[in-house]
Copies of this chain bind each other. A is one copy, B any other.
Amino acid sequence: MIYIQRKERFSAAHQLYNPNWSEAKNDEVFGKCANKNFHGHNFTLTVTVKGKINPDTGFVMNLVDLKKIIQMHVTEKLDHKNLNTDVDFMRGKFTSTEVLAMEIWKILQPLIATHQAILHCVRLDETENNAVEYFGD
C-alpha cells in the first residue's frame, strides 16, 4: 500500500449556529463564529488515497483524475459559496469544519473506489491554525 495526496482550495462564507437555541446561547457557544451576517475562510482540502502501484503507470491513481474528481464534485460546489445557503449537500447541517469534512468523505469515497483506489483521509484546514481530519468510520 502507498498513499497519494492532492490539495485543492476554496473560499467560502459560513455561520455557526444551532437553530434550536436562542441567539444568546448561540453567541455564548459559537462566539464570533455565530455572526448572522456570516464570515469566511480560505479552506484547504487535502485528500489522501491509498492503493497498490499500477505496474503499467507507476501510479496508485492518476493525480489528474483525482484532481478532476475533487474539483467537479467538491470544490466547484463550495468555492465562492455560502456554506449555509448555497450548498446542496450541507443543507440543514452544521457548517463546522468537522461536518463539512465528513460530508466531503461521503461524496469522494465511492468515486475514488471506481479507480481501484481507497479513500484514506479527508483533511480540511480552515485557518493556518485550525484543521480537521476524517478517516471514515
- A-side interface residues toward B, CB under 8 Å? 1-9, 11-14, 16, 18, 20, 29-33, 35, 37-42, 48, 53, 56-60, 62-64, 79-82, 85-86, 93-99, 101-102, 127-135
Contacts and interface: CB of A to CB of B under 8 A. Distances in A.
27 contacts: A1-B135, A2-B102, A2-B133, A3-B132, A3-B134, A5-B132, A6-B130, A9-B127, A11-B39, A11-B41, A12-B40, A13-B82, A16-B58, A20-B56, A29-B57, A31-B64, A35-B86, A37-B85, A37-B86, A39-B81, A40-B40, A40-B41, A42-B128, A53-B96, A53-B102, A58-B93, A58-B99
A137 to B, nearest CB: 8
A13 B95 CA distance: 15
Given A13-B38, A39-B13, A39-B80, A18 B57 contact: yes
B32 A79 contact: yes
A62 B6 CA distance: 28
A123 B19 CA distance: 36
Contacts of A33: 80
A33 B101 CA distance: 24
Given A29-B62, A56-B18, A4 B42 contact: no
Given A2-B132, A58-B99, A11 B40 contact: yes
